[in-house]
Chains A and B, each alone.
Chain A
Amino acid sequence: MSESSIVINGNRADLIMKQDLVASAVNDLRTMMQDAITGGVKNIFIDMTGIKVVDSMGIGLLISTQNSLSKEDGQLEILNISADIMDLFKSMRLDQHFSIKGE
């Protein structure tokens, strides 16, 4: 089970990450966010305070989530990412795909 939690308020969901966004965590998080989108959520905010690593499967999850939200005219926003992860995301131009804010 995922150690992270999601708080849904109307069409907004806040995901509080408690584990690194890596392959072993992706399935649970995907289910969590997909259930929220199916339930009517249009905007997801992910708080990455304390998250040390995001691997390519984690990046894939963020992109597929943004792809799903944009079909609903919604968006994904990533908050409080570390400098290392910001550098990784920018090198892949992910800041052009969804909103990213550093710590």
Chain B
Amino acid sequence: MSSGKSLNLNIKADLKEIDNFCMEAEKLLRNNSLGEYVFPVQLLLREALTNAVVHGCRKQSKLMIKCYFNILENEIRMEIKDPGDGFDWKFAQSKDYTLSADSGRGLLIFNKYASEYIYNKAGNGVLIKMIIVQKEKDHE
């Protein structure tokens, strides 16, 4: 289901489905004059969805991922939930990574671009919030 400000979809656990969902989210942002948020939102959505597809569903495309994207007055909300056993985000957050490590940067992206992110207790769902900075109205 989708409207002018939200997307509420179940997608297959397939990496190509991430591209499609992100494309729809981009359209919504641009239609709501929020083009400057496309880059950070794409990164945040892609990290959450890739985790769900790769770790939560182990790329089993018969499994489904719940995706919710909503543009509110002051913030953008993204909620992703998979049917997997959950991600130990506390452990991942406590891990330091070396410059030459070729994985483990997903949470760095959350930390850099999200205003707030909250994992559920099981670790298989995440709510990501991004504050919309209000533009000052032009003076006449």
Contact = CB atoms under 8 A, between A and B. Distances in A.
Contacts of A88: 43, 109, 112
A57 interface: yes
A63 B16 contact: no
A53 B15 CA distance: 15
Interface string B118-139: 0000000000000000000000
Contacts, number: 58
Interface residues of B, number: 23
Does more than half of chain B's interface fall in helix, strand or loop, or is it mixed? helix
A98 to B, nearest CB: 10
Contacts of B19: 22, 24
A61 interface: yes
Contacts of B103: 56, 60
A60 B19 CA distance: 18
Interface of A: 22-24, 52-53, 55-57, 59-61, 63-64, 66-67, 84, 88, 91-94, 96-97
